[in-house]
Structure 1
Amino acid sequence: PPRHPLASAAAPTETGTGDGPLVTAPAQALIDLLGVDPERVRALPVKVVRRADVERLAAAGLHASPTRREGGLDGSEPGPVTVDRGTPRTGGGSLRALSGNQRAVGRTVSLSHQTVPAAFAAVKVDVGEAVAAARDLTRRLRMLVGLPDLLISAVARLHHDFPLFFATLVDEGTARVPESPHVGVTIDLGTGLYVPVIRDANAKSVTEIAGELGAYRRLAQRGGFREEQLAGGNIVVTLHHDAGIVMAVPIVFPGQACAVALTSPQPEGERTMAVVGLSYDHRLINGRDAVLFLQALREALEGAPAEGL
Structure 2
Amino acid sequence: MPDVTVPKLNSNDASYTLVEWLAPEGHRVSEGEAVAVIETSKATTDLGATHSGVLRHHAAPMQQIAPGEVIGALLSEEEYARQPVTVGSERAASAHEPEVVITRPAAELMARHVVSEESVRGLGKRIVRRSDIEAMVERGDLSGGSSVDGVEIRALSAGQRAVAVNVAKSHRGIPSAFTVIKVYGDGLIRARQRVAEGTSEFLGLVEFVVRAIARQRADFPEVFADLRADSTLSIAPGAHVGVTVDVGRGLYLPIVRDAAEKSLPEISGMLMEFRVKALRGRFSEADLTGGNIALAVHVETDVVDARPIIFPGHVCVLSLCSMQEELHRTTEGSIETRSFFNLGLTYDHRVINGRESMRFLQAVKRDLESLS
TM-score relative to the length of structure 2: 0.61
Aligned pair count? Answer: 247
- Equivalent residue of 1:159, what SS? coil
Matched ranges for 1:158-177 at <5 A: 158-177=216-235
Cα shift readout 1:77-101 (whole Å, capped 9, x = no counterpart): 9683432256353444311122211
1:241 is matched with which residue?
A: 299
Match of 1:140, SS?
coil
Larger relative contact order (CA 8 Å, sep ≥ 6): 1
CA distance in 2, matches of 1:153, 1:67: 37
1:12 corresponds in structure 2 to none
Q: What displacement does 1:142 show?
A: 2.1
Q: Does the CA contact (< 8 Å) of 2:43 and 2:284 recur in 1?
A: no
Q: Specify every segment of 5 or more residues in structure 1 that has no aligned partner in the other structure, as ranges.
A: 1-58
Contact 1:196 1:216 in 2 (8 A): yes
What CA distance in whole angstroms lies between the structure 2 residues aligned with 1:272 and 1:63? 51
Match of 1:187 in 2: 245
- The verdict on how the C-alpha distance between 1:140 and 1:178 changes in structure 2, with shifts beyond 3 A counting, is same
| Alpha-carbon distance in structure 2 between the residues aligned to 1:256 and 1:158 | 16
1:284 and 2:351 matched = yes
**Contact between 1:78 and 1:103, CA under 8 Å: does it hold in 2?**
no
Partner of 1:84: 113
Q: CA deviation at 1:70?
A: 9.2
CA distance in 2 between partners of 1:64 and 1:201 (Å):
33
1:97-116 alignment, distance < 5 Å: 97-116=155-174
Cα offset, 1:73, TM superposition: 6.9
Other-structure match for 2:370 = 303
1:173 Cα deviation from its structure 2 partner: 3.5
Structure with greater strand share of residues: 2
Letter in 2 for 1:281: D
2:213 corresponding residue in structure 1: 155
Name which of 226, 248, 251 aligns with 2:284: 226
- Contact preservation (8 Å) 2:192, 2:203: yes
The answer to whether the Cα contact below 8 Å between 2:44 and 2:282 also exists between their aligned partners in 1 is no
Report the Cα offset of residue 207 of structure 1: 1.8
User: Which has the larger Rg?
Assistant: 2
Identical amino acids, percent of aligned pairs: 38
CA distance, structure 2, for counterparts of residue 244 and residue 71 of structure 1? 37
Change (3 A) 1:65 1:71: closer
The one-letter code sitting in structure 2 at the alignment partner of 1:93 is: V
Give the Cα separation in 1 of the matches to 2:295 and 2:14. Answer: 19
Gaps of 5+ in 2: 1-9, 20-37, 46-103, 115-143, 328-336
1:250-309 per-position Cα deviation (integer Å, ceiling 9, x unaligned):
11111111000000101112111100000001111111000000111111111123xxxx
Could you say what secondary structure the match of 1:218 adopts? helix
Counterpart of 2:310 in 1: which secondary structure? coil
Alpha-carbon offset, residue 75 of structure 1: 7.4
Mapping of residues 127-146 of structure 1, within 5 Å: 127-146=185-204
TM-aligned CA deviation for residue 127 of structure 1: 1.1
Amino acid at match of 1:152: V
Aligned counterparts of 2:43 and 2:322: Cα–Cα separation in 1: 25
Counterpart-to-counterpart distance in 1, 2:41 and 2:245: 12
Letter in 1 for 2:226: T
| Structure 1 residues 51-78: Cα deviation after superposition (integer angstroms, max 9, x where no partner) | xxxxxxxx95499968779977777996
